[in-house]
Amino acid sequence: MALDTRSLLAALFLSYVLLGALSIAFARLNPHARAIRAWGGALLVFAAGFATGFAGFALGSRLPAFVSITVANAFGATGAYLTLRCARVFRGVEPRDRIGLVLLAAAIVALAWFDVVHPDLAARTAILSLITAALVLRAGRTIGSARAGGPAQTLLAGLLFVVAALMAIHGSSVLLTGMPGGYLAPSAYYSFLLLAYLAAGIAGTTAVLLAEIELLTRGLERVAKVDMLTEIPNRRGLLAEFERELSRAQRAAAPLALALMDLDHFKRINDEFGHPAGDAMLREVVKRILATVREHDIVGRFGGEEFALIVPGGDREAAAWTAERVREAVAEQPFDVDGRRMQTTLSAGVAVLGEDGADWDTLIEAADRALYEAKRRGRDRVVPRAPLR
């Protein structure tokens, strides 16, 4: 059954304006949600195209065909390119897409040629539909390859693929059969196509919002488990990593050790050079530690100038050897921070699963006692075993 084309265009215009405004309002609440802002901009451009097309139907011959057809389709092609920009923003890469710009330019040239220079409704519609399909398909592939993951990303990519397929089918059918009814003539086919665009706008906005919320949630989870100064796990992140390694060690009956490491007399660094310099030095210390330990060893900031090292598959000797290498790496030469040379040393204590404890708390307590013993003996040393109480 064919629906009234003007009514469908009006519904598309109103829905896309509302969805675009909603998307931009969401982005204003969270400046980091750049993808939803780009999506809102694309929706508003599409809405301008629907409004121009509706005006052509409402005003008839009083509105030049160049405005009601050429301009309306130019808005549509531009909206498709902006959808691709949104996908690239979502993926976290440069928004501008050179291939997309070439396709958009080709669409504009085709519009000008087949609407003004050599009018051919079928050729213009077919070429524009196929180019728009290519832009939307490229957007879907970009979304699908993003690292973010999650069901919302999959939904959005799949939705874009479906829209691209509808546009490609439309363009191909026009190439094969022409347009006997004229531009957007009332028919069941056009009614279905416009309704599909309406559904795509609603579902797409929902998917983008959900995808942004997923990204925000992951960001909050990262903030909760990562030390923002050094970008290594904080105490909560260390506990999560330890529980994972503990489970693996228990299943495989493998050794597991950890070390607590503390910079010696670090307060003097802050007092002499200031806290910003101290923070910069902590970052440099972490770089040396990470360059020294094995790839699968886990380093985290336990608090202040204290760090924890989890050694999967390592016994006491291996953990002490690793901690000793870290100690040497920190002490071997001064740190150059903003042109100033700063020197520090490191003390460490080691604890081993089974011998010193069976969980995080008991191992940390044992490693802390060994660390205290290293401090008592004069600092700048590794104590591999906590003294007896």
Q: Which amino acid is at 312?
A: P
DSSP string, 294-357: -TT-EEEEEETTEEEEEEET--HHHHHHHHHHHHHHHHSS-EEETTEEE---EEEEEEEBTTTB
Strand-pair partners of 258: 310, 351
Q: Which of 212, 241, 245, 305 is catalytic?
A: 305
Ramachandran category for residue 184: left, alpha or beta (phi over 0 → left; psi -120 to 50 → alpha):
left
Which helix (DSSP H) or strand (DSSP E) does residue 289 occupy? helix 275-292
| 305 is known as an active-site residue | yes
Residues 186, 2: contact at Cβ < 8 Å?
yes
Cβ-based neighbour number of residue 149 at 10 Å: 12
C-alpha distances in Å from residue 143, one per residue of 10, 40, 140, 155, 208: 29, 16, 5, 10, 10
Q: Which residues of 320-337 are buried (b: 16+ CB within 10 A; e: fewer)?
A: bbbbbebbebbeeeebeb
* H or E element in which residue 212 lies: helix 188-225
With beta carbons less than 8 A apart as the criterion, state whether 379 and 347 touch. Answer: yes
Show Cβ contacts of residue 336 under 8 Å, excluding neighbours closer than 6 positions: none
* Residues forming the active site: 305
